Structure 1
């Protein structure tokens, strides 16, 4: 039976005159990666801090593993993670950092083998005895994850865990988090990377100005995006453009990105109309070499739900090409 790792009801938190969280309701089930996203200043860091016991809500209730969180600062039992990057010691080695952090959290009895296991999980075995001051940002993120894993958490809370990671490092971390969720751990991650969310999360919660504007399955969020701009590359772009112009429900978009590539056509429509277009293009003997959204569906839904979707298609395409 699925358990609820964390449940928030009516959570409100202010800092002076600034309302960081405004009556937030949130359910985080065990055995799943839950994404937390929102524009800068939306309240993500504040909510993560509450889950980690780093601050206390002004109003509302918060339960962790079925236990109400008290009005005293402290990390709830079974919870681990970090906000704004892990707290580490630059003068110590990776191995020494884990031993020291385990002792601070009351895990002084952790065996050396458990430290080695945590380092191996995050792919840092080869640098276990290197001092942290020489680590890259991505390596520090992975060491922070290793420190959290030492506590055998039931709720893991991570702020931008893929920050600074190269593609191989990101795949490694994704695999670790997916395995934890498969073992029943509730994983909460904040991220500005929609590709990370699509690859990892079963559900997402979007915050805007301290309020929840969406919470639910990733598939449902993608459906919120509606019509999207798609970049279509074919062996005969002129013919593809003519077919697209004659297809009901599709609009050919003049895109700065497309103009820099003679083989590309940008069209706007639903998934169903794109399916119809591809069938017609292929039926006409034209090879489809590339097809994909100019802005990923999750990102488009995020922009629409947070009120940030105010840039024209041409500008979005330029941003995509520059990234």
Structure 2
């Protein structure tokens, strides 16, 4: 039996007075998927997350969340959890007390709510009895994630969940999200951190001024017909430059910096031309030590789509 999408939006519109925050948007999020939400400030991301969490209702269109039709009522279906604009916490309470209070508000017994389990899952066991007033931004984000996990959501809605986290904390949160999706939970993740989105997401939606300008697999966006700049580090910089100059569809746009006794070139090419360049370098006996985009494919596509949309206004 085919599973229903965790989220299905069709022609959804939402306005606040004269301001149209979401304009006729379509969106579909599959169960067991991390779906990224990207857009400049004011694009409508927070409004969309608020709709999914039941913080506001749609003005027009159709929004289904976990198979339930969501209308104007300010209530999320069972199985939805998350936070927008950072988690709301009681600063005078400890993480354990915060979660106990939240469990009580939802009619759960704090003794059986699994509080210690979710604190351990997000790496806060060691500070479970410290007051949250002195917590860093990253620790508050982790506690917000623990609060969302407390009720075993089937749809998790997160706004900048790795904001303020150090690399170890970010890796920890990534692991939590990947384990959730492996168990079938859908995650909608809004972030300005392109590295996070490229690491975690299978699909992404780009919003600009309340409209969807792209939605679909990240791989389709990243391999779109668009030239990118790549850092090229080899064992023989002179030979690499010669091969790049001779390769069709490849331009050397910059060469600078000495790293590992080799010149770091910057070349511009489409993916097929770049693939051909790698083959040619190998045939010439030039060792390839690094080949990375100067700007990530997602960021490059985001900038291009945003500029196109704003130019057409």
The two structures have a TM-score, normalised by structure 1, of: 0.90
Give 1:1-323 correspondences, 5 Å limit: 1-104=2-105, 106-112=106-112, 114-224=114-224, 226-254=226-254, 258-261=255-258, 263-307=263-307
CA contact (8 A) 2:82 2:145 kept: yes
Q: CA deviation at 1:309?
A: 11
Q: CA deviation at 1:218?
A: 1.2
Q: CA deviation at 1:42?
A: 0.6
- The number of equivalent residue pairs is 306
Q: CA deviation at 1:227?
A: 1.7
Q: Which consecutive unaligned segments of at least 5 residues does structure 1 have?
A: 311-323
Q: CA deviation at 1:145?
A: 0.5
Q: Please give the alpha-carbon distance, in whole angstroms, between the structure 2 residues aligned to 1:287 and 1:71.
A: 60
Q: Please give the alpha-carbon distance, in whole angstroms, between the structure 1 residues aligned to 2:248 and 2:225.
A: 20
Please give the secondary structure, in 1, of the residue aligned with 2:114.
helix
User: Runs ≥4 in structure 1, deviation > 3 angstroms?
Assistant: none
Q: CA deviation at 1:305?
A: 1.6
Q: CA deviation at 1:209?
A: 0.8
CA contact (8 A) 2:34 2:187 kept: yes
Deviation digits for residues 9-40 of structure 1 (CA, Å, limit 9, x no counterpart): 11111122221100011111211111111111
The two structures have a TM-score, normalised by structure 2, of: 0.93
Q: CA deviation at 1:226?
A: 2.0
CA contact (8 A) 1:28 1:186 kept: yes
- RMSD in angstroms over aligned alpha carbons? 1.8
Q: Please give the alpha-carbon distance, in whole angstroms, between the structure 2 residues aligned to 1:234 and 1:70.
A: 57
Query: More deviation in 230-239 or 153-162?
Result: 230-239
Partner of 1:313: none
CA contact (8 A) 1:225 1:301 kept: no
CA contact (8 A) 1:52 1:79 kept: yes
Q: CA deviation at 1:225?
A: 5.6
Q: CA deviation at 1:266?
A: 0.9
CA contact (8 A) 2:43 2:208 kept: yes
Deviation digits for residues 73-114 of structure 1 (CA, Å, limit 9, x no counterpart): 12322111000000001110010011111222x143243560
Deviation digits for residues 106-142 of structure 1 (CA, Å, limit 9, x no counterpart): 1432435600001011111111111101211111101
CA contact (8 A) 1:50 1:57 kept: yes
Q: Please give the alpha-carbon distance, in whole angstroms, between the structure 2 residues aligned to 1:19 and 1:309.
A: 16
CA contact (8 A) 2:252 2:266 kept: yes
Partner of 1:314: none
Q: Please give the alpha-carbon distance, in whole angstroms, between the structure 1 residues aligned to 2:224 and 2:270.
A: 11
CA contact (8 A) 2:59 2:72 kept: no
